Amino acid sequence: MNVYDFNSAIVRRPATTVSTGLRAHNRGDPTYQGICAEHEAYVRALRAAGLKVEVLPALEAFPDSMFVEDPALVFSAGAVLLRPGAASRRGEAEALAPTLEGHFERVPRLPRGSVDGGDVLVLPEKVLIGLSARTTREGAEALRECLAVLGLTGVVVQSPRDVLHLKSDCSLLDAETVLTTSRLSRSGIFSGFRELIVPPGEEAAANALRVNGHVLVGRDYPRTQERLVSAGFRIVPLATSEIAKIDAGLSCMSLRWLA
């Protein structure tokens, strides 16, 4: 089984407060209409790739709550409720709990520290946990314990210090290939993998998403798209300019698993 084979997904509708969400860089304010349009196109792409998508209602009290992969992780064996690094997002995990407990028998909770799901990359043989401003060493070690309960192996690595999350700079393309940036490639964490490096100036394109036979990729990165097509991947370009204004990418908008 490939770790990018999915038939189920959970997403959450954007809150009308989404434009007030957290951000590490000021790229201007997104519009609610623009965010909704990108989110709806994303959901259509997941369904076109063969996934049954459960759409949860918006949480107005949590502007960032449409980014469901930060407060939780899901696998075929179970789910993990995380403790996001931003205290303002901690309530998002509990809001997801009833839904995840309805799908999975095992839903351990991160007992200490903090972890954002954006710092977690699932590979065929292990789960990388990137230390960052949002994911602490204590949280990463606690997550390794939670993953062990699900029969998975966690490995702690260092995210690039000038990016928000590990997956801001990488994504899995197939069992042997990752899409990554030059700065993350230099860390050596992908030793043994074939690395497809995004062109300079298109670093944000590294946050692509492999879903079954498709690779979802940001529409505004033509040179990365060309490299993916040349490497034999079937791409689905999607608009991400609005979500990028609040530090988001394609991987964080859904929780995906093979039921």
The set of catalytic residues is 165, 252
Dihedral through CA 81, CA 83, CA 86, CA 91, nearest 10? 60
Give every CB contact of residue 256 below 8 A, 6+ residues apart in sequence. 6, 8, 9, 46, 51, 74, 211
Residues 100, 72 contacting (CB under 8 angstroms): yes
**Integer Cα distance of 185 and 197 in angstroms:** 8
Residues 117, 85 contacting (CB under 8 angstroms): no
| Strands lying side by side in the sheet with 235-238 | 209-211, 214-218, 235-238
> Within 10 Å of residue 234's Cβ, how many Cβ atoms?
11
